Structure 1
């Protein structure tokens, strides 16, 4: 019996690791825009590109379907998803509620080290020369801010919602005006976090999200 276990367990672990690695890789390609929304995901080409076999890749696509990043089209197969404007509005409505909850909790645990980390994120954004660099910096800022909260389930839900709306969030990176507005909001958010003003922080989060949604609506509606 011990010989059977020694053969099976490593295979199971390797497969799990390969699936997780493939999931992270494909998610990254979608979130960065390398796999554009609406595009067909060719599993044969993608498995070669990532250097993984078809089985973990197929499992990765199933996971990303649950996350809402991929949709299964009966005629075309796996397609990179983009929410409709109705879905986007619902996403932002939920984000407002959840981000305010996370921000309030973050205030309770905010430290000087967190302040330094957020200022580093702001500096990184200000130095971004390309849209891709700005997208990464923007993601780093929001991730850093909400990881301060100890409401981990809320933060997980925020991440899932942001991922589903990433196509439209990335549009901001292509507009100099929107980038400047977002960066100004980030600077004020950090100052308010440091001051401990929860009411003002909620106001900023709501206005930040609503301004982004309004800008996206002006482009696509």
Structure 2
């Protein structure tokens, strides 16, 4: 029983680090995750490494392939669109809860992010600014479980998929919609902010779906 507990304990830091590296793009889709090499890196046996990889597999960050072992899982086009649908439910709830708690500092931070967003020219930078803006609006919801679910969803998409979404969406349209959402928040109109956010994410899904179709065709 002690040995099992110890392996579980030693697998957690491995799981945390690998998940962070997958979410950040340091470990890209298709990257092999060799248990022996990971064991050497963390100074542990294969047992906690395998436990960490199995947990990542259960959360769909990793997959095991015959004769290849574990690799970083590549998210499919359909999954990108399905996860955008889940964003609507989670993020609209978050902004409804957040608006009544917002203060001037929250609005100032959001405006600062939007201002920096306008000066960016690359989709990767748009993606980072977009995520920062949305999370800034949701933080005052004061619901750590909900915020973690939103963050985990973003992690599951990963930087590659998030950049695809930003490339498809461009800069001008999302920025206009962001400002409208922020204005509703400033006015204390939680229902309006949630409705605008829903429309914003649905439009993002439509343009992303069209972009993915063109990419497959072309």
Conserved 8 A contact 2:91-2:150: yes
Q: Is the 8 A contact 1:82 1:165 kept in 2?
A: no
**TM-score, length basis structure 1:** 0.74
CA–CA distance in structure 1, aligned partners of residues 122 and 145 of structure 2: 33
**Alignment match, 2:43:** 53
Pairing partner for 1:195 from 187, 197, 200: 187
Counterpart selection for 2:165 from 162, 172, 175: 172
State the Cα distance separating 1:20 from its structure 2 match: 5.6
Matches of 1:30 and 1:52, distance apart in 2: 17
The alignment status of 1:208 with 2:200, answered yes or no, reads yes
Q: Residues 32-84 of structure 1, C-alpha deviation per residue, up to 9 Å, x if partnerless?
A: 43433233334556677xx5335565554344334322223243222222333
1:75 maps onto 2:67 in alignment:
yes
* Conserved? CA contact 1:68–1:81, under 8 Å: yes
Unaligned stretches of 5+ residues in structure 2? 214-218
Compared with structure 1, are the counterparts of its residues 57 and 121 closer, same or farther at alpha carbon in structure 2 (3 Å cutoff)?
Answer: farther
Select the residue among 184, 207, 221 that pairs with 2:176: 184
Number of matched residues? 207
1:154 and 2:146 aligned:
yes
CA RMSD of aligned residues (A): 3.2
TM-score, normalising length: structure 2: 0.75
Contact 1:44–1:54 at 8 Å: present in 2 too?
Answer: no
Unaligned runs of at least 5 residues, structure 1: 1-7
